[in-house]
């Protein structure tokens, strides 16, 4: 299959005005995490690159940046998985099928899918970090022969917090996809791994010089995972992380998302570890 179609953005004129999109499906995932699927506002559909995000507007409440977590090969659907962490996400959770949310996007840089071709790929996700990585997984599976070994390491809080359980089971059943899941602690019956996601890294068998790693999760988790991936021999310019910062515009004009000299909305959210390694080690930057 060909690479995902080029980005088809939601045309917003002026750029701060959201466009109402209808919710086609809504469903709970685990705990306070839920997924919404929206219809693109026009016939031209919507397309994005894995790793990008939209600014989502709840009428009268506000806007937040949320990663897109759908299949980049589909142009008929805009999928967002998110946690309820504030007023806007709480407002989103209350919206049901048939309601409308405002969308601006897609914005930001993408996971390095073209650079990853021909390489082994290690994907490390922590908690809700699996959501921005799912589009990369979809893309690789759609063009599986273009990539080498594919490994997913996924860590989350507990067995009841595992996101996309059924998909993980499907992926795990494939012969060309190594999926390892671990939880921080397990209450009750759980026969899987228990321990932080870094404990899964020694299990990875790839050719480190020819591996691309994509990491997404809490910043502390990404820092420690990147260090352990370096120990495996994966070069720092081949490790990629997804950063998160406060955003008010998503288009490089409000100044809030700055991380050192980088605008996370425009130079990120996906960065190579080489580019941000030093900044990650500085407090309160």
Partner 1 sequence: MSPGLAVHRLDATDLERLFHILAGEGYSVIGPMVREGTVIYDRIASSRDLPIGWADEQTNGSYRLVKTDSPGFFGFSSIAQSWKKFLVPPSQRLFRSQRQNGTFEIIREENVPERLAFLGVRPCDLRAIAILDTVHLNGPVVDPDYRARRNHALIIAVNCTKAGNTCFCASMGSGPEAGAGFDLCLTELLRDGDHCFLVESGSPKGDMVVESLALSEATPEDRSAGREAVRKAAQSMGRALQTDGLAELLAASLSHRRWDEIGRRCLACANCTMVCPTCFCTTVEDGTDLTGTIAWRTKLWDSCFTSEFSYIHGGSVRQGITARYRQWMTHKLSSWVEQFGTFGCVGCGRCITWCPVGIDLTEEAAIFREQTSLHA
Partner 2 sequence: METLQPVLAAHPFFQNLEPEYLSLITGCASNVKFDAGTYLFREGEEAHHFYLIRQGKVGLEIFIPELGPVTVQTAGEGELVGWSWLVPPYEWHFDGQALELTRAIALDAKCLRSKCEEDHDLGYQLLKRFISILEQRLQATRLQLLDLYGTRT
Task: Return residues touching partner 1 (CB under 8 A).
Answer: 13-20, 22, 59-63, 83, 85-86, 98-100, 102, 244-246, 248-249, 251-256, 258, 260-261, 263, 266, 282-285
Contacted entry of partner 1, partner 2, none for residue 173, CB cut-off 5 to 8 Å set by kind: none
Helix (H, G, I), strand (E, B) or coil at 35: strand
8 A C-beta contact, residue 200 and residue 180: yes
Taking the CB of residue 198, how many other CB atoms lie within 10 A of it? 18
Please enumerate in sequence order all residues whose Cβ is within 8 A of that of 139, keeping only pairs 6 or more positions apart, or say none. Answer: 3, 4, 50, 72, 73, 113
- Binding-site member from 69, 82, 156, 211 for partner 2 (CB under 8 A): 156
**Torsion sign (Cα): 278, 280, 283, 285:** positive
What tokens appear for 66 in the block? 């949320």
**Smallest distance, partner 1 to C-beta of residue 180, A:** 27
Does 233 sit near partner 2 (CB under 8 A)?
no
- Binding-site member from 15, 20, 118, 192 for partner 2 (CB under 8 A): 192
Contacted entry of partner 2, partner 1, none for residue 187, CB cut-off 5 to 8 Å set by kind: partner 2
Say how far residue 21 (Cα) sits from the centre of its chain.
21
8 A C-beta contact, residue 171 and residue 149: no
Helix (H, G, I), strand (E, B) or coil at 211: strand
Of 186 and 254, the one with the shorter C-beta distance to partner 1 is 254
Does 166 sit near partner 2 (CB under 8 A)?
no
Of 86 and 233, the one with the shorter C-beta distance to partner 1 is 86
What tokens appear for 184 in the block? 């921080």
Of 208 and 269, the one with the shorter C-beta distance to partner 1 is 269
Q: Which residues bind partner 2 (CB under 8 A)?
A: 32, 83, 85, 126-128, 155-157, 161, 182, 184-188, 190-196, 198-199, 202, 217-218, 220-221, 224
């Amino acid at each position: 299959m060909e690479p995902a179609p080029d980005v088809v953005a939601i045309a917003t004129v002026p750029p701060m005005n959201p466009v109402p999109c209808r919710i086609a499906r809504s469903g709970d995932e685990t705990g306070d995490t839920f997924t919404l699927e929206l219809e693109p506002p026009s016939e031209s559909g919507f397309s994005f690159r894995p790793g990008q995000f939209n600014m989502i507007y709840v009428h009268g409440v506000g806007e937040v940046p949320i990663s897109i977590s759908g299949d980049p090969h589909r142009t008929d659907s805009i999928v967002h998985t998110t946690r309820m962490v504030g007023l806007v996400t709480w407002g989103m959770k209350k919206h049901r099928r048939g309601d409308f949310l405002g969308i601006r996007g897609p914005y930001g840089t993408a996971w390095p899918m073209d650079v990853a071709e021909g390489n082994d790929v290690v994907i490390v996700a922590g908690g809700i970090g699996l959501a921005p990585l799912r589009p990369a997984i979809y893309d690789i599976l759609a063009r599986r022969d273009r990539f080498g070994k594919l490994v997913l390491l996924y860590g989350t809080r507990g067995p009841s917090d595992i996101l996309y359980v059924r998909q993980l089971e499907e992926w795990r059943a494939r012969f060309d996809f190594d999926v390892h899941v671990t939880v921080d602690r397990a209450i009750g019956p759980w026969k899987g791994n228990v321990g932080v996601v870094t404990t899964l890294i020694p299990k990875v068998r790839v050719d480190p010089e020819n591996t691309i790693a994509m990491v997404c999760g809490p910043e502390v988790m990404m820092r420690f995972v990147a260090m352990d991936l370096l120990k495996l021999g994966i070069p720092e310019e081949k490790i990629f992380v997804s950063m998160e910062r406060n955003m008010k515009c998503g288009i490089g004009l409000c100044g809030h998302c700055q991380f050192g000299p980088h605008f996370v909305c425009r130079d990120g959210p996906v960065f190579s570890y080489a580019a941000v390694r030093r900044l990650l080690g500085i407090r309160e930057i």
